[in-house]
A and B are shown apart, each in its own frame.
Chain A
């Protein structure tokens, strides 16, 4: 961050008051303060010290303001969440309808609803977290008589797991749930491991800020 060495094009503010009596630009002085640059002049020059002192005073007021706003940490998010979700539920994105039961039954389930069940089923395998779950209606795309759906599921797997075995178990749970909870004929379950998760961290990693 040495942009202040070449100010002409970037001089942030025009005007006479930009230049301190010692010849330094206020912008430079404050920039040096912010970078905690070691510049003997800044310590010795009374004009620069005064300019920095002004900023220090502002800083102490800022600290007060920051502490003042800290009460938001106790913010109750429930009413806001409820208001947001009330609107969200009027604008759902349920995806495409997918066939339930036999091919010609004309019974359907929306993709997002089925995906939620299948993700939950995958997560019954220890340490597995489910992400993307797409359901592709094979019948609609190719074979009109199959009435079967292909599941493409992304998971985060525990770091120590033997992945082929893990994938088999997840596949089995997903098939079971598709049959027992939904009644959907599933042609294939494709599992993709998109991340390995250190289980000792107890699912907290990846929490972003």
Chain B
């Protein structure tokens, strides 16, 4: 998740310093240390937010807001988690709020009517991987905010149920239920199941 420290930083900013120390410095008001953290973690967080929101522009806004919120609450952070995990959680929650505020694209009842079931077994369809990706992308909009967040973290980001539960702030049971519902909805939408 880290590791993309490509750009130059201000002198003495600790470009090769580990996250823990930089977070402590930033908590004590060292904005240069914070800029190193922003630069280092932005690519992974942008990737996460883009997956959650399906839009790069919205992802940039969400990540920017998340970093500002982090700067404001750093004095209370006390290194309870790694900075990366903490940011992951903040971005996830920020994206969840964005998703919740979205107008529903389509009522869930219509899911069954979406892609024709005949595609499911067509060999042509299997070669059209690109279409499947596009359909999947569109189908993601059918999920509720919580379903989408849990599914993206679990499936696209490959996180454990425990990690997802922590990031989203719900129980592992609830995460499992949401991932299941998301899978059911997506397999239906792709015509892959029922």
Contact = CB atoms under 8 A, between A and B. Distances in A.
Nearest to A119: B25
Contact of A66 (B4, B84, B156, B183): B156
Contacts of B181: 12-13
B184 A111 contact: no
Main secondary structure of the interface of B (DSSP, over half): helix
A67 B68 CA distance: 29
B43 to A, nearest CB: 4
B166 interface: no
Of the four ranges (under 10, 10 to 19, 20 to 34, 35 or more), the interface on chain A belongs to: 35 or more
Nearest to B40: A77
A3 B177 CA distance: 11
A130 B21 contact: yes
Contacts of B44: 209
Contact of A206 (B20, B51, B129): B20
Given A3-B176, A10-B177, A12-B177, A85 B31 contact: yes
Contact of B24 (A78, A112, A131, A202): A131
Identify which of A53, A54, A68, A84 gathers the most chain B CB atoms within 10 Å of its CB: A84
A152 B160 CA distance: 40
Contact of B68 (A62, A84, A207): A84
Contact of A64 (B12, B20, B51, B132): B132
Interface residues of B, number: 69
Interface string B28-50: 11111011001100111011001
A115 interface: yes
B156 A65 contact: yes
A58 interface: yes
Given A93-B75, A94-B29, A54 B68 contact: no
Interface of A: 1, 3, 10, 12-13, 17, 26-27, 30-31, 50-51, 53-55, 57-58, 60-62, 64-66, 68-69, 72-73, 75, 77-78, 80-81, 83-85, 87-89, 91-95, 111-112, 115-116, 119-120, 129-134, 154, 156, 202-209
Given A27-B180, A73-B43, A77-B4, 9 more contacts: A10-B176, A58-B192, A62-B136, A68-B133, A84-B35, A84-B71, A85-B31, A131-B20, A208-B18
